Structure 1
Amino acid sequence: MNITRENIDELNAVVKVDIAKEDYEGKVDKILNDYRKNANIPGFRKGHVPMGMVKKQYGKAVLVDEVNKLLQEGLNKYLTEEKLDVLGNPIPKEQKDFDWDKDNYSFEFELGLAPEFEVNLDGLDKKVTKYNIVADEKMVNDQVEHLQKQYGKMKTKETAEEGDTVAGVFKNEEEGIENETSFELSKIKGKRNLNKFVGAKVGDTLSLKTKNLFEDDHDLINHLSVDHDRAHDLDVEVTFTINEINERELADLDQEFFDKLFGKDQVKSVTELKDKIKEDAAKQFQQQSDQQLMNDITEKLIEQTNFELPKEFLQKWIQTVGEKPLTDEEAVEEYEKSEKGLRYQLIEGKVVNDNELNVNFDDLKAFTSEKIKQQMAQFGQTDPSQKELDDIAARILSNQEEVKRLSEQLMNEKLLEFYKEKVKFEEKEVTYDEFVKAIYK
């Protein structure tokens, strides 16, 4: 077998694979001899079928199969040994006059080559903002009140006010609706609907329209007992008869309340409670801030790292890789959708390789064990043994899908820490509302 390469340009090449008769003849003859020994053909004893008959019946299929095996093995070995960084997969060139009855064969493949480029992290300086999100006083106070409501007691009332919970029955005989339910008035959409409830008393029957009744249309599924598809388009009159009105009294900010939230004597004052809420919020906000930072870095790297891609090759390759072939127009459209992602894959790969950020098994095992430990802590298991962690990690890492998922998470963390260390960001302290406005402006 002989393999040669012709470079068309920096991004495209053609590889020619020549396979001679001596490359495949021995393997083909061995397989045909095995067929002959085991063939059951009427009129011949087993093992005594004429080789000519075996070749006529099986020879072409065996030849094609063995040549294709040699071709794939040789091509893969060549790409590895030559250290060619190819995009997509080699595309076989069409040969109109190909003849399997010849002894020697030549095959040609088009290659798309990855471009050479450098990633300049210095160019990101002051172009990316690192948001430090803090919980402001209003957010902390709102969370305190939410927790007081959550752990407070229900008090029955005669007249409804905003924030109350009402229980009753929705009805519409023609639509077959009759369902007993309860809900907080905060779920009602719009002042017009809410005003029908405010001031209403136990025993009152309200007339309502289902369209835009709740903030979330999916609430109609539970409160009217209708199916999902019907809930989205439902626009009918219903009545709601109030059977009960309840107000949730706020729990007292005392030690019993603090212990219910965080465990005995972990928090001993309102100040400590607010500090704890701020601390927990900071952890949650950090994840959002980090994700946004990663998104912004990705966008900037794609924007400032310029290189050409073998566009025509990739469009041709995209036509062949799906379940069904794409038209030229469909392939162009698909390429345009995926080009940005491909560019970042190449940039990320360059950063990873140049800075030796690769994930090894020990890294992955330690990362998995830490994730397990965090999850166990959420369920009160704060001190698992190393053997427990190792056993669970081993089960998880025996699943290839989990290995892929966790490896991607770990690589993302390594990249983020690398960027935090190497790039000089413009840091900005913001409230959560300010963060949302800045991101979605």
Structure 2
Amino acid sequence: MNITKEQIDELNAVVKVAISKEDYQDKVDSILKDYRKQANIPGFRKGQVPMGLIKKQYGKAVLVDEVNKLLQDNLNKYLTEEKLDVLGNPLPRQQENFDWENENLDFEFELGLAPSFDVSLKTKKPIVHYKIVADKKMIDDQVERIQKQYGKLVSKKEVEKGDEITGTFTNEAEEIDNKTTIELSKIKGKKALNALVGKKVGDTVSLSTKGLFKEEYLLSSALGISREKAEKLNIEVNFIVEEINERQPATLDQELFDKLFGKDNVKSEQELKERIKEDSEKQFEQQADQKLLNDVTERLIDDTKFELPADFLRKWIQISGEKMLTDDEAKEEFEKSEKGLRYQLIEGKIIKENNLQVQFEELKEFAKGFVKSQMAQYGHINPEEQELENIANRVLGNQDEVKRLSEQLMSQKLLDLYKEKANLKVKEVTYDNFVKEAYS
């Protein structure tokens, strides 16, 4: 067997594979002999079928199969030994008048080669790295929500502003009949609010659904209908008052602090606010990190210029799926995937140049951290080390989970690298301003 490469240009090449009869004949003969031993053909005893008949029936299929195996094994070996960085897979060239009867067989494969380029993390224009802080208003609002959540309900006879009302919304035409609890502080329109204030248990109030709540998503849950239906709804509904309560806020005392954070971990209102600030900013950091990762990715794609073997990739996309695509479909798919492919190449180069690797032991520790955070969501705060070890081992026994966690860990390594080496400008913002700036 002889394999040679013809370089077309920097991004395209053709590999030629010449296979002679000596490369495949022994294997083909061996398989056909096995076929002869097992063949059951009417008129012949088992194992006594003439080899000529076996070759006539199975010879070409066995030959094609064995040659294809030879091609695949040796082509992959050649690409590895020659250190050819290819995109997609080699594409076999169609050859006119190809004859499997020839003793010597010649094949050609098109290659799309990865481009050569440089990556610099020191982009000309600095990238904003947001540091989201919990401001006084946010902390005070959170304290108020805690007091409300852990406060007690006091029954009342007449509705006043700030109360909670339990009742049933009805509208026969729209088949609405849903019991719910609404907070008057969430009512948007003055007309609706005035209609509710002063009502007693047993009273019925007619309300318009349009602009009823300050937050639109509340309407669907209040009426017991889908979000899609609620968005288009503009009707009158009846609300029958069944229960009126005032929620008296919980006292900020040690009993409440212990309930929230465990015994004696928080001992004052000031410590409560510090804990809220710390926990909130830890959650915000994850959002800011994801934004940074996205922004660095976009900037690297924009700043790192290189050509791709576009014609080859369009052809590869056209034939590599479950069904053959048209030229236009392949072109559209290439345009959709080009940006992702560019970053995949950029990311691969960054990983290689900075020797970023995922070692098994650190993957296990990463898996333990993931398991621990999952357990914490269900109230299991301090699991035993052996318990974490056992669960992490089970998780890492699943190859899909290994792949997913490895990708997450590598993303974290890239993020740490970007924080260390990229041209970043730290900007301190409140959460509201972060949302406005980052996602407007």
TM bin, normalised by shorter chain, reads over 0.9
Q: Which amino acid aligns with 2:97?
A: D
Q: Which amino acid aligns with 2:59?
A: G
Matched with 1:116 is 116
Whole-angstrom CA distance in 1 between matches of 2:19 and 2:427: 64
Shift of 1:110: 1.1
Matched with 2:48 is 48
Task: Please state if 1:154 is matched with 2:174.
Answer: no
Assess if the C-alpha contact under 8 Å between 1:211 and 1:236 holds in 2.
yes
Matched with 1:281 is 280
- In structure 2, do the counterparts of structure 1 residues 327 and 163 end up closer, same or farther at CA, with 3 Å as the change threshold? farther
Q: Count residues in correspondence.
A: 439
Matched with 2:301 is 302
Matched with 2:250 is 251
Aligned residues: percent identity?
64
Shift of 1:391: 1.9
Shift of 1:164: 3.2
- In structure 2, do the counterparts of structure 1 residues 87 and 199 end up closer, same or farther at CA, with 3 Å as the change threshold? farther
Shift of 1:212: 5.9
Whole-angstrom CA distance in 2 between matches of 1:249 and 1:319: 66
- In structure 2, do the counterparts of structure 1 residues 193 and 95 end up closer, same or farther at CA, with 3 Å as the change threshold? farther
Matched with 1:241 is 240
Matched with 1:205 is 204
Q: Which moved more, 1:305-314 or 1:190-199?
A: 190-199
Whole-angstrom CA distance in 1 between matches of 2:423 and 2:123: 10
- In structure 2, do the counterparts of structure 1 residues 167 and 369 end up closer, same or farther at CA, with 3 Å as the change threshold? same
- In structure 2, do the counterparts of structure 1 residues 363 and 159 end up closer, same or farther at CA, with 3 Å as the change threshold? same
Whole-angstrom CA distance in 2 between matches of 1:216 and 1:141: 21
Task: Please state if 1:262 is matched with 2:261.
Answer: yes
Assess if the C-alpha contact under 8 Å between 1:171 and 1:177 holds in 2.
yes
5 Å matches for 1:361-376? Answer: 361-376=360-375
Shift of 1:172: 3.0
Assess if the C-alpha contact under 8 Å between 2:126 and 2:423 holds in 1.
no
Q: Which amino acid aligns with 2:102?
A: K
Whole-angstrom CA distance in 2 between matches of 1:101 and 1:193: 88
Whole-angstrom CA distance in 2 between matches of 1:52 and 1:217: 80
SS at match of 1:421: helix
Whole-angstrom CA distance in 1 between matches of 2:174 and 2:36: 75
Matched with 2:390 is 391
Q: Which moved more, 1:211-220 or 1:259-268?
A: 211-220
CA deviations over 1:184-240 (Å, ceiling 9, x no partner): 345556555555434443222123455665677776665445568766666654322
Shift of 1:283: 0.5
- In structure 2, do the counterparts of structure 1 residues 364 and 33 end up closer, same or farther at CA, with 3 Å as the change threshold? same
Assess if the C-alpha contact under 8 Å between 1:152 and 1:251 holds in 2.
yes
SS at match of 1:8: strand
Shift of 1:137: 0.4
Q: Which amino acid aligns with 1:132?
A: K
Task: Please state if 1:67 is matched with 2:67.
Answer: yes
SS at match of 2:116: coil
Shift of 1:320: 1.8
Matched with 1:93 is 93
CA deviations over 1:4-28 (Å, ceiling 9, x no partner): 1111110111111112111111111
CA deviations over 1:251-281 (Å, ceiling 9, x no partner): 1111111111111111111111100101101
Whole-angstrom CA distance in 1 between matches of 2:214 and 2:88: 47
CA deviations over 1:298-323 (Å, ceiling 9, x no partner): 11111111111111111111112222
- In structure 2, runs of 5+ residues without a counterpart are none
Assess if the C-alpha contact under 8 Å between 2:132 and 2:285 holds in 1.
yes
Matched with 1:2 is 2
Q: Which amino acid aligns with 1:184?
A: E
User: How well do the aligned residues superpose, as a CA RMSD in angstroms?
Assistant: 2.4
Whole-angstrom CA distance in 1 between matches of 2:351 and 2:249: 53
Whole-angstrom CA distance in 2 between matches of 1:345 and 1:191: 55
Matched with 1:26 is 26
Shift of 1:428: 1.5
Q: Which moved more, 1:298-307 or 1:418-427?
A: 418-427
Whole-angstrom CA distance in 2 between matches of 1:322 and 1:213: 51
Matched with 1:336 is 335
Shift of 1:392: 1.5
Whole-angstrom CA distance in 1 between matches of 2:279 and 2:355: 34
Matched with 2:433 is 434
Task: Please state if 1:168 is matched with 2:185.
Answer: no
- In structure 2, do the counterparts of structure 1 residues 138 and 220 end up closer, same or farther at CA, with 3 Å as the change threshold? closer
Shift of 1:366: 2.1
Whole-angstrom CA distance in 1 between matches of 2:411 and 2:338: 20
Whole-angstrom CA distance in 2 between matches of 1:440 and 1:291: 12
SS at match of 2:251: coil
CA deviations over 1:316-369 (Å, ceiling 9, x no partner): 111122222222122222212211111111111111001100212222122212
- In structure 2, do the counterparts of structure 1 residues 17 and 188 end up closer, same or farther at CA, with 3 Å as the change threshold? farther
Matched with 1:413 is 412
- In structure 2, do the counterparts of structure 1 residues 253 and 434 end up closer, same or farther at CA, with 3 Å as the change threshold? same
Assess if the C-alpha contact under 8 Å between 1:202 and 1:245 holds in 2.
yes
Shift of 1:81: 0.8
Assess if the C-alpha contact under 8 Å between 2:128 and 2:425 holds in 1.
yes
Shift of 1:175: 4.3
Shift of 1:415: 0.9
Q: Which moved more, 1:194-203 or 1:364-373?
A: 194-203
Assess if the C-alpha contact under 8 Å between 1:373 and 1:384 holds in 2.
no
- In structure 2, do the counterparts of structure 1 residues 298 and 153 end up closer, same or farther at CA, with 3 Å as the change threshold? same
Q: Which amino acid aligns with 1:94?
A: Q
Whole-angstrom CA distance in 2 between matches of 1:194 and 1:324: 60
Whole-angstrom CA distance in 2 between matches of 1:46 and 1:53: 13
Matched with 2:359 is 360
Whole-angstrom CA distance in 2 between matches of 1:334 and 1:198: 59
CA deviations over 1:58-104 (Å, ceiling 9, x no partner): 11211111111111111111111111111111111122322222222
- In structure 2, do the counterparts of structure 1 residues 111 and 195 end up closer, same or farther at CA, with 3 Å as the change threshold? farther
Assess if the C-alpha contact under 8 Å between 2:123 and 2:423 holds in 1.
no
Q: Which amino acid aligns with 1:344?
A: Y
What TM-score, normalized to structure 1? 0.92
What TM-score, normalized to structure 2? 0.92
Assess if the C-alpha contact under 8 Å between 1:205 and 1:242 holds in 2.
yes
SS at match of 2:170: strand
Matched with 1:314 is 313
Task: Please state if 1:139 is matched with 2:121.
Answer: no
